[in-house]
C-alpha cells in the first residue's frame, strides 16, 4: 500500500506533504517514515494517509468578473487623493 506522508516541521505549523512510502501495513509505514522524515530532526509530527484515502480536488469556474470579492478588485488611490484635497482646501471642514 502507498502511504502519503505529511510532516509538521515545528509545533503550530501546517502539516505539509513530504513524500510517500510503500509499506505492507501502518506499522511498517510508521517505522519507515519516522526514519525518512525525522532522523535529522526535521519533523515534530507526521500524518500517514493511505493514498487512496486522498480525494484530490481541482478546477474552479472563473467565467464572470469576480473582482468585487477580491483585494485586487479595489483601487482607491485616485478617489482618496481627491478626498484629501477637498478636505484640505480653503473653506472646507
Partner 1 sequence: MNEQVLLGLADDELVIGWRESEWTGIAPLLEEDVAFSSIAQNEIGHARAVYELLAEDADALAFDRSLDEYRCAPLVELRLLDWAHAIARRWLYETADEIRITSLMDALPLAAKINREEAYHRMHAEMWHERLRHEPRFVAAVEELWPYALGVLPTDQRDALSARVGLPVVDAIERGTHTDELPELWEEMTMVRRSAPAGTQW
Partner 2 sequence: MAAVEIPHDEQAFLEYVQSGGQVETGDWMPADYRAKLVKFIEMHGNSELMGVLPEREWILRAPTLQRKLALTAKVQDEVGHAQLIYRVVEDLGKPREQCLADLVSGKAKFHNVFHYATKTWGDVGAIAWLVDAAAIISQKALLKCSYAPYARIMKKICWEESFHILHGRDVILAMITGTPEQFELVQEAVNRWWGPLMQFHGNPIPRDEDPMYIWRIKSQGNEEARQQFLEGYVPQIWELGLTVPDPNLRRRDDGVWEYSEPDWDELKHVVTGHGPKTEERLAFRRRFLEQEQWVRDLVLAA
Return d(Cα 57, Cα 55) in angstroms, integer: 7
Q: Does 41 bind partner 1 (CB under 8 A)?
A: no
Return d(Cα 16, Cα 68) in angstroms, integer: 31
34 binds, among partner 2, partner 1, none (CB under 5 to 8 A by kind): partner 1
Element holding 34 (H helix, E strand): helix 26-38
Q: Does 8 bind partner 1 (CB under 8 A)?
A: no
Can you give the length of the chain in residues?
A: 93
Among 12, 25, 27, 68, binds partner 2 (CB under 8 A): 25
Among 31, 54, 80, 83, binds partner 1 (CB under 8 A): 31
Q: In sequence order, which residues have a C-beta less than 8 Å from that of residue 45 and are 6 or more positions away?
A: 7, 8, 11, 15
Residue placing its CB nearer to partner 1 in the complex, 34 or 51: 34
Q: Residues interacting with partner 2, by CB under 8 A?
A: 1, 18-25, 28, 35-36, 39-40, 42, 54, 56-59
Amino acid at each position: 500500500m502507498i502511504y502519503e506522508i505529511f510532516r509538521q516541521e515545528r509545533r503550530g505549523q501546517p502539516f505539509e506533504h513530504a513524500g510517500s512510502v510503500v509499506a505492507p501495513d501502518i506499522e511498517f509505514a510508521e517505522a519507515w517514515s519516522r526514519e525518512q522524515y525525522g532522523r535529522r530532526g526535521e519533523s515534530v509530527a507526521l500524518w500517514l494517509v493511505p493514498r487512496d484515502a486522498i480525494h484530490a480536488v481541482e478546477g474552479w469556474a472563473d467565467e464572470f468578473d469576480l473582482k468585487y470579492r477580491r483585494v485586487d478588485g479595489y483601487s482607491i488611490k485616485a478617489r482618496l487623493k481627491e478626498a484629501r484635497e477637498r478636505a484640505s482646501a480653503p473653506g472646507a471642514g
